[in-house]
Chains A and B, each alone.
Chain A
């Protein structure tokens, strides 16, 4: 039984596309067959984050309009077995696709894949409605900021009133050193406000920028702590009861002192 997961947030720029790319890659690494759909029609981006931009021939809108067959539009990722991208159209707008179109598309993809991941556009209009139409569950991405959390709260309500089960939360761009000095909402603060189960925390990381420069998702990098955080989220998606590491700070005296002086970054303890 395949599952369709929508990655959404309300607010733009909080990390939906980065999360979709990495979770899809990490799921494929566990041996699942995964299609990731870029539902951000008109603002195609998932292709470049995945490093697959040069291989696009057809897009989502052409599939829906019957210009090509679904199989023709799917781009296979050659770095990892079992991962395909369905790119968004770049020159069309969201109204080119309806929620019913998306539902039918997702149903078809579920026939021969284990997961369909949908990278939702920002906002709560047509693109959002299309994105949740075929989804079985939702992941909400937020950053520890007032505006992002406010939008997340709104989207939680919309997802639930669309009949989906309570979504899971991913906190992105978490900065332990700011949390420690009381200048960033910590996970308990956020959970107290949003009341949905947490499925993972991704730290703020320069690695994310480097990986998007290269089109090489961090989930592929065994040595990357951020990649490991994505791989752990995937194990939780698969139902494993894996504790969510607190991004505690190195507690040795000199580490604490240097951090206090602002000389050393916080380090994740997995």
Chain B
């Protein structure tokens, strides 16, 4: 009861993040994977292979972004790779 009340006071004081935000995020991801018939595992593998190719030419720094996005029904892979040249130029 006391705990409950404290939680409630907390919701009055600060903006709290209800579980629905988790639901929404998880749903979005799962639906995109469903639509592409691409499992998260296959997605990880694709990311690793793509990085391997890019790394033949440039150095890739962290953090690497690689994610699925859906806008107006179109799913895209959006990736951002911070890169540097392989060999420092003279």
Which residues of A come within 8 Å of B, CB atoms? 145-146, 149-150, 153-154, 157, 179, 181-186, 189, 193, 195, 260-262
Q: How far is the CB of A256 from chain B (nearest CB, A)?
A: 11
A228 to B73, CA, bound (A): 35
Q: How far is the CB of B86 from chain A (nearest CB, A)?
A: 43
Interface presence of B23 (CB below 8 A): yes
In contact, A150 and B18 (Cβ under 8 angstroms): no
In contact, B28 and A193 (Cβ under 8 angstroms): yes
Which residues from chain B contact A181 at a C-beta distance below 8 Å? Answer: 11, 18
Which residues from chain B contact A182 at a C-beta distance below 8 Å? Answer: 16-21
| Pairs across A and B, CB under 8 Å, 18 listed | A145-B23, A146-B23, A146-B27, A149-B27, A150-B31, A154-B34, A157-B35, A181-B11, A181-B18, A182-B21, A183-B19, A184-B20, A185-B23, A185-B24, A189-B24, A193-B27, A193-B28, A195-B73
Given contacts A182-B17, A182-B19, A260-B8, 6 further A-B contacts (CB under 8 A): A146-B27, A150-B31, A157-B35, A184-B20, A186-B20, A193-B27
A57 to B21, CA, bound (A): 50
Interface presence of B89 (CB below 8 A): no
In contact, A189 and B20 (Cβ under 8 angstroms): yes
Which residues of B come within 8 Å of A, CB atoms? 4, 8, 11, 16-21, 23-24, 26-28, 30-31, 34-35, 73
- Answer whether A153 and B31 are a contact pair too, CB < 8 Å, given A185-B24, A193-B24, A195-B73: yes
Which residues from chain B contact A193 at a C-beta distance below 8 Å? Answer: 24, 27-28, 31
Which residues from chain B contact A150 at a C-beta distance below 8 Å? Answer: 27, 30-31, 34
Contact of B26 among A146, A189, A260 (CB under 8 A): A146
A160 to B79, CA, bound (A): 31
The list of the 8 closest CB pairs from A to B, nearest first, reads A182-B18, A183-B18, A183-B19, A185-B20, A146-B23, A146-B27, A153-B31, A189-B24
Closest chain B residue to A180, Cβ basis = B18
Closest chain A residue to B31, Cβ basis = A153
A234 to B17, CA, bound (A): 36
Which residues from chain B contact A261 at a C-beta distance below 8 Å? Answer: 8
In contact, B30 and A183 (Cβ under 8 angstroms): no
A181 to B26, CA, bound (A): 19
Which residues from chain B contact A185 at a C-beta distance below 8 Å? Answer: 20, 23-24
Closest chain B residue to A261, Cβ basis = B8
Q: How far is the CB of A72 from chain B (nearest CB, A)?
A: 44
Which residues from chain A contact B17 at a C-beta distance below 8 Å? Answer: 182
A182 to B26, CA, bound (A): 15
Which residues from chain A contact B8 at a C-beta distance below 8 Å? Answer: 260-261
Q: How far is the CB of B3 from chain A (nearest CB, A)?
A: 13
Which residues from chain A contact B26 at a C-beta distance below 8 Å? Answer: 146
A154 to B34, CA, bound (A): 8
A186 to B21, CA, bound (A): 11
Closest chain B residue to A186, Cβ basis = B20
Q: How far is the CB of A243 from chain B (nearest CB, A)?
A: 24
Which residues from chain B contact A189 at a C-beta distance below 8 Å? Answer: 20, 23-24
Which residues from chain B contact A184 at a C-beta distance below 8 Å? Answer: 20
In contact, B34 and A153 (Cβ under 8 angstroms): yes
Which residues from chain B contact A179 at a C-beta distance below 8 Å? Answer: 20
A194 to B78, CA, bound (A): 22
